[in-house]
């Protein structure tokens, strides 16, 4: 594995391998036998805001022996229009790896191709692969293997996180039920391309029925702020709350990639009742991304 650009580009074996390696990273934190990023400098190039992804990558790179450099896209020439392929060719000659958060998936693909250094997608409009690896690791920790799993994704079924869930379900073979208003459902061509046990409906209760995981994300993803009022109206009825949770398995996990907007995609009581799971998810970003970093430099974590 040279880059981590999408869940789409991973095999089930690679996904399951990363989940196992995340567990090793977590259990050996503070006493890793190897520091695979030693003498390496990695850039984080971010065009969108971030708390979890930025902190977990900066800490994770350091814990693996490397040095991170955070570059807000607006502060470098990229923000003034220098093409990504030129930025990539410069960075590829100076850095050992890059973590990119941007809009267009093609930009991370181009960065990887033109830089020649290991490149990680830290969120684009199309995918959020690091999030989903950490989430699958969290589910494995709390529930066990993914066999027989049913995940219900409630909300914006066409956002980056939902799209990565679609590919994860297709690759790993678990069931994914998406409930979204019609205008925010994933396109049929994506569902056809992914395959797997993925269903889409407008009915949140139907999606939640029998689910082992109820998952949601913000209604207004970064870059969609001018649609906020329209989205708030469209997504009424797509909140995770006690009424929806009653449709799921009695021991269902409630998960949220964060940041959360209480009273919108999830209510305060449900969020706080499941905060332990939700913040475990956030913590697991660190362990999962360390597993990804080690894998990309050819030194996967070993128990």
Interface residue list for ligand NVA (CB under 6 A): 123, 159-161, 217-218, 221-222, 257
Instruction: Clarify whether 257 is annotated catalytic.
Output: yes
Q: Rounded CA gap, 52 and 295, in Å?
A: 21
Nearest to 216 by CA among 191, 173, 253: 253
* Smallest distance, ligand CP to C-beta of residue 203, A: 27
Helix, strand, or coil here: 17? Answer: helix
Nearest to 295 by CA among 7, 9, 40, 25: 25
Residues 6+ apart with CB under 8 A from 88: 98, 110, 111, 112, 113, 114, 115
Listed ranges 19-27, 48-56, 179-187, 245-253: which one lies at the site for ligand CP (CB under 6 A): 48-56
Helix, strand, or coil here: 180? Answer: coil
Nearer to ligand NVA, 140 or 160 (CB): 160
Question: If contact means CB under 5 to 8 A according to the sort of partner, which of ligand NVA, ligand CP, none does residue 159 touch?
Answer: ligand NVA
Residues 6+ apart with CB under 8 A from 90: none
Question: If contact means CB under 5 to 8 A according to the sort of partner, which of ligand CP, ligand NVA, none does residue 199 touch?
Answer: none
Nearer to ligand CP, 44 or 294 (CB): 44
* By the rule CB under 6 A, 51 interacts with ligand CP: yes
* By the rule CB under 6 A, 277 interacts with ligand CP: no
Taking CB positions, which residue lies at the least distance from ligand NVA? Answer: 221
| Span 104-133, contacts to ligand CP by CB under 6 A | 123, 131
Instruction: Clarify whether 128 is annotated catalytic.
Output: yes
Tokens representing residue 77 in the block: 């020439």
Looking at 25, 257, 288, 293, which residue binds ligand CP (CB under 6 A)? 257
* By the rule CB under 6 A, 274 interacts with ligand CP: no
What DSSP string describes 70-113? EEEGGGSGGGGT--HHHHHHHHHTT-SEEEEE-S-HHHHHHHHH
Nearer to ligand NVA, 123 or 208 (CB): 123
Instruction: Let me know: does 113 contact 142? Beta carbons within 8 Å.
Output: no
Instruction: Clarify whether 256 is annotated catalytic.
Output: no
Active-site residue, from 125, 135, 156, 217: 217
> Which positions are annotated as active-site residues?
101, 128, 131, 217, 257, 285
Query: Which residues make up the interface to ligand CP (CB under 6 A)?
Result: 50-53, 123, 131, 257-258
């Amino acid at each position: 594995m040279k880059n981590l650009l999408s869940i789409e580009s991973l095999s089930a074996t690679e996904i399951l391998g990363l989940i196992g390696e995340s567990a090793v990273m977590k259990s050996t934190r503070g006493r890793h036998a190897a520091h695979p990023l030693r003498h390496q400098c990695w850039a984080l190039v971010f065009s969108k805001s971030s708390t979890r992804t930025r902190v977990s990558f900066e800490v994770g790179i350091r814990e693996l022996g490397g040095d991170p450099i955070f570059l807000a896209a607006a502060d470098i020439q990229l923000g003034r229009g220098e093409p990504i392929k030129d930025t990539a060719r410069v960075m590829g000659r100076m850095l050992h790896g890059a973590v990119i958060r941007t809009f267009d998936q093609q930009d991370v693909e181009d960065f990887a191709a033109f830089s020649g250094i290991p490149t990680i997608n830290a969120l684009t409009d199309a995918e959020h692969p690091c999030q989903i690896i950490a989430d699958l690791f969290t589910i494995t920790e709390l529930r066990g293997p993914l066999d027989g799993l049913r995940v219900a994704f409630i909300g914006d079924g066409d956002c980056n996180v939902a799209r990565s869930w679609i590919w994860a379900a297709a690759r790993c073979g678990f069931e994914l039920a998406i409930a979204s208003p019609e205008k925010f459902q994933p396109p049929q061509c994506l569902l056809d391309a992914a395959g797997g046990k993925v269903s889409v409906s407008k009915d949140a209760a139907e999606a939640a029925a029998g689910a082992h995981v109820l998952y949601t994300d913000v209604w207004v993803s970064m870059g969609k702020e001018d649609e906020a009022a329209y989205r708030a109206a469209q997504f009424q009825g797509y909140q995770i709350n006690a009424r929806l949770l009653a449709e799921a398995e009695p021991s269902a996990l409630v998960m949220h990639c964060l940041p959360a907007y209480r009273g919108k995609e999830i209510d305060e009581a449900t969020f706080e009742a499941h905060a332990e799971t939700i913040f475990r998810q956030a913590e697991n970003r660190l362990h999962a991304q360390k597993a990804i970093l080690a894998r990309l430099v050819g030194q996967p974590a070993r128990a």
